[in-house]
C-alpha cells in the first residue's frame, strides 16, 4: 500500500463521523408537500373553500401555498392554479400583516364590511383579478416554540352544508390554531435543515480553501439558471420548477462535499496529481453521495444525484460510473472489470447541469494547480467539449445564459 492509501484510510474514519452527523438530515421530509397537506387538512376540518400559507422572510410575508376550490373547479381537470409568488410587508395595514405583527388571531365575518376604524384593510386586488368573492377570513399566526412569528395561516370562505359562504365560528379557531402549530414545526425543521446544510458546506470549504464560498455560490447559481431554461423548454410546471430550483441550489452548493474525505496532500497539491492520487480524488463523488444515502426527502435525492454524477461525461468517459455508491463496487463492469461510466441520458439531468457549471467555474478561476483561463479560452473549451464531456443541449443553453452568468460573477466575486 502506498502513502496516499494509508492517508485515505485515516480520512475515511473522520469522514464516517461526518456521515453519522449528517444522518440527522434524513429525518426531514419534503417541506412544500407537508405544508400543502397541512393546508388541505385545515380547510377540510372547517369546510373552507380556500386557504393560504404565508412565510415570513425579513420584513415581508411571502405567499407560499395557496388553494382555492372554486377557482380550481373553473380550470380544466389536472390543471393547476397559476402560482404567483408575492410579498406583503409586515405591518398593520393588511390582515395577514396585522396578524404577523401582533400575533393576534383575526376572525373576520365579511371582509367587505370591515369597520373603517380598524388599522387593517382587505385588499381586493386578488378578488378583482380572479373574479373570486372573498367573504369570511380566519387568519392565524404561525409561531415557533420560542414564540417567534414565522408565518401566517389564512383560511377563506367557510361553507355550510348547502355550500353557502358563512362566517368562521369561534369554535373553529382552536382547530386552525392546531394546524398552524403543526405548520410552524415543519417550518422550523426545514430551517434547521438549512442550517445543517450550510454547516456542511462550510466544512467542505474549510478543507478546500481555494474553493471559496464564492465558487460554491457561483456554481449553484449557474446550475439554477441552466435548469430553468432547460425546464421551460419542456413546459415543466412553474410550481415544479420553483420547488426544484431551491433544492438544486443547495445540492449544487454541496457538489464537492465529498472532498472532505480527501487528504490535504492531494487536495492542496500545488502541481499535477499522479495516477494514484487522481484515483483517490475521484472518490469524492461517491463518498459525498453517501451523505444522502437514506433518502427520505426530495432534497436528499437531488443532492445524491448531483454529488454522484457531476463528473460523468456525455460520451461515457467520466467517473465514477455505474457503482454501488455505498461500497464503491461496480454495478456494471467494462472490459477491464472497472465500473462502466454512465453515458448520455443515463446521467441524470441535474448531474449534466452541475457538470458544466462546475467546469465553467473551475476554468475561469485560479486553483492551487492552475491559473485562471481567459474568457475566450473558456468558451472555446466548452464548445470543444460539446457532445463529448457535456450534453449538447446543455451547452446550447449555456451560451443562451452568458449574460446571466456575468451578472452572477459580479455578485459573487472572489474575496
7 lies in the binding site for ligand C2E (CB under 6 A): no
Pick the closer one to ligand C2E by CB: 272 or 413.
272
Binding to ligand C2E, residues 266-285 (CB under 6 A): 269, 272-273, 281
Write the Ramachandran bin of 60: left for phi over 0, alpha for psi from -120 to 50, otherwise beta. beta
Pick the closer one to ligand SIN by CB: 253 or 385.
253
Closest CB 310 distance from Fe ion, rounded Å: 5
Closest CB 284 distance from Fe ion, rounded Å: 6
Catalytic residue check, 340: no
372 lies in the binding site for ligand C2E (CB under 6 A): no
E strands of 103-163, at which residues?
Answer: 106-108, 137-143, 149-159
Separation between Cα atoms, residue 282 and residue 319, nearest integer Å: 7
Closest CB 172 distance from ligand C2E, rounded Å: 55
Asked whether 142 and 180 are in contact (CB, 8 A), the reply is: yes
Closest CB 139 distance from ligand SIN, rounded Å: 6
What contacts 100, CB < 8 A, 6 or more positions away? 54, 56, 61, 90, 141, 149, 151, 152
Pick the closer one to ligand SIN by CB: 122 or 373.
122
Binding to ligand C2E, residues 286-315 (CB under 6 A): 311
Separation between Cα atoms, residue 322 and residue 339, nearest integer Å: 6
Tell me the β-bridge partners of 51.
Answer: 67, 155
Place of cell 378583482: 128
Asked whether 150 and 187 are in contact (CB, 8 A), the reply is: yes
Angle CA 207–211–217, to nearest 5:
120
Separation between Cα atoms, residue 153 and residue 38, nearest integer Å: 10
SS3 per residue for 37-78: HHHHHHHHHCCEEEEEEEEEECCEEEEEEEEEHHHHHHCCCC
What contacts 245, CB < 8 A, 6 or more positions away? 224, 227, 228
Separation between Cα atoms, residue 404 and residue 412, nearest integer Å: 13
Q: Which of 359, 395, 397, 408 binds ligand C2E (CB under 6 A)?
A: 359
| DSSP letter (8 states) at residue 147 | S
Q: Which of 74, 79, 370, 411 binds ligand C2E (CB under 6 A)?
A: 370
Closest CB 378 distance from ligand SIN, rounded Å: 32
386 lies in the binding site for ligand C2E (CB under 6 A): no
Q: How many residues bind Fe ion (CB under 5 A)?
A: 2
Q: Determine the number of helices (DSSP H) and then strands (DSSP E) in the chain.
A: 16, 7
Pick the closer one to ligand C2E by CB: 283 or 304.
283
Closest CB 295 distance from ligand SIN, rounded Å: 11
340 lies in the binding site for ligand C2E (CB under 6 A): no
Pick the closer one to ligand SIN by CB: 247 or 382.
247
369 lies in the binding site for ligand C2E (CB under 6 A): yes
Candidates 87-95, 123-131, 234-242, 360-368; binding stretch for ligand C2E (CB under 6 A):
360-368
Binding to ligand C2E, residues 310-339 (CB under 6 A): 311
96 contact choice in ligand SIN, Fe ion, ligand C2E, none (CB below 5 to 8 Å, kind-dependent): ligand SIN
List phi, psi (to 5°) of 377.
Answer: -60, -40
Candidates 43-51, 163-171, 289-297, 357-365; binding stretch for ligand C2E (CB under 6 A):
357-365
Residue 109: strand, helix, or coil: coil
259, 282, 304, 342: which one is catalytic?
A: 259
Separation between Cα atoms, residue 105 and residue 195, nearest integer Å: 30
377 lies in the binding site for ligand C2E (CB under 6 A): no
Candidates 94-102, 124-132, 231-239, 358-366; binding stretch for Fe ion (CB under 5 A):
358-366
Pick the closer one to ligand SIN by CB: 121 or 143.
121
Quick one: which of 367, 183, 182 has its CA closest to 269?
Answer: 367
Pick the closer one to ligand SIN by CB: 129 or 206.
129
User: Which positions lie near Fe ion, rule CB under 5 A?
Assistant: 256, 358
Using CB under 6 A as the criterion, which residues of the chain lie in contact with ligand C2E when the complex forms?
269, 272-273, 281, 311, 358-359, 362-363, 367-370
Catalytic residue annotation:
259
Amino acid at each position: 500500500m502506498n502513502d496516499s492509501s494509508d492517508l485515505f484510510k485515516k480520512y475515511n474514519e473522520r469522514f464516517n463521523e461526518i456521515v453519522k452527523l449528517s444522518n440527522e438530515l434524513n429525518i426531514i421530509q419534503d417541506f412544500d408537500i407537508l405544508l400543502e397537506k397541512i393546508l388541505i387538512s385545515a380547510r377540510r376540518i372547517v369546510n373552507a373553500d380556500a386557504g393560504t400559507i404565508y412565510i415570513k422572510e425579513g420584513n415581508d410575508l411571502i405567499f407560499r401555498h395557496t388553494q382555492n376550490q372554486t377557482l380550481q373547479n373553473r380550470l380544466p381537470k389536472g390543471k393547476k392554479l397559476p402560482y404567483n409568488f408575492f410579498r406583503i410587508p409586515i405591518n398593520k395595514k393588511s390582515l395577514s400583516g396585522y396578524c404577523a405583527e401582533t400575533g393576534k388571531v383575526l376572525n373576520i365575518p365579511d371582509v367587505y364590511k370591515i369597520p373603517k376604524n380598524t388599522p387593517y384593510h382587505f385588499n381586493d386586488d386578488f378578488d378583482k383579478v380572479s373574479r373570486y368573492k372573498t367573504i369570511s377570513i380566519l387568519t392565524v399566526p404561525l409561531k415557533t416554540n420560542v414564540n417567534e412569528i414565522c408565518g401566517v395561516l389564512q383560511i377563506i370562505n367557510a361553507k355550510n352544508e348547502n355550500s353557502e359562504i358563512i362566517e368562521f365560528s369561534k369554535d373553529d379557531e382552536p382547530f386552525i390554531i392546531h394546524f398552524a402549530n403543526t405548520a410552524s414545526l415543519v417550518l422550523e425543521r426545514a430551517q434547521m435543515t438549512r442550517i445543517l446544510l450550510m454547516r456542511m458546506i462550510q466544512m467542505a470549504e474549510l478543507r478546500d480553501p481555494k474553493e471559496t464560498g464564492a465558487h460554491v455560490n457561483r456554481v449553484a447559481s449557474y446550475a439554477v439558471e441552466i435548469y430553468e431554461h432547460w425546464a421551460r423548454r419542456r413546459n415543466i410546471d412553474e410550481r415544479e420548477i420553483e420547488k426544484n430550483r431551491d433544492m438544486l441550489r443547495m445540492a449544487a452548493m454541496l457538489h464537492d462535499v465529498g472532498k472532505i474525505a480527501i487528504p490535504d496532500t492531494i487536495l492542496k497539491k500545488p502541481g499535477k496529481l499522479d495516477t494514484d492520487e487522481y484515483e483517490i480524488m475521484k472518490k469524492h463523488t461517491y463518498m459525498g453521495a453517501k451523505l444522502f444515502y437514506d433518502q427520505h426527502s426530495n432534497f436528499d435525492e437531488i443532492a445524491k444525484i448531483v454529488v454522484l454524477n457531476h463528473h460523468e461525461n456525455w460520451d461515457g468517459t467520466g467517473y465514477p460510473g455505474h457503482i454501488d455508491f455505498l461500497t464503491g463496487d461496480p454495478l456494471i463492469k467494462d472490459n477491464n472489470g472497472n465500473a462502466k461510466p454512465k453515458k448520455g441520458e443515463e446521467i441524470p439531468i441535474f448531474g449534466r447541469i452541475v457538470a458544466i457549471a462546475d467546469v465553467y467555474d473551475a476554468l475561469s478561476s485560479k486553483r492551487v494547480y492552475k491559473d485562471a483561463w481567459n474568457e475566450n479560452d473558456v468558451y472555446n473549451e466548452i464548445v470543444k467539449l460539446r457532445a463529448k464531456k457535456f450534453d449538447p443541449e446543455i451547452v446550447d443553453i449555456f451560451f443562451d445564459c452568458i449574460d446571466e452568468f456575468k451578472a452572477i460573477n459580479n455578485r459573487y466575486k472572489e474575496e
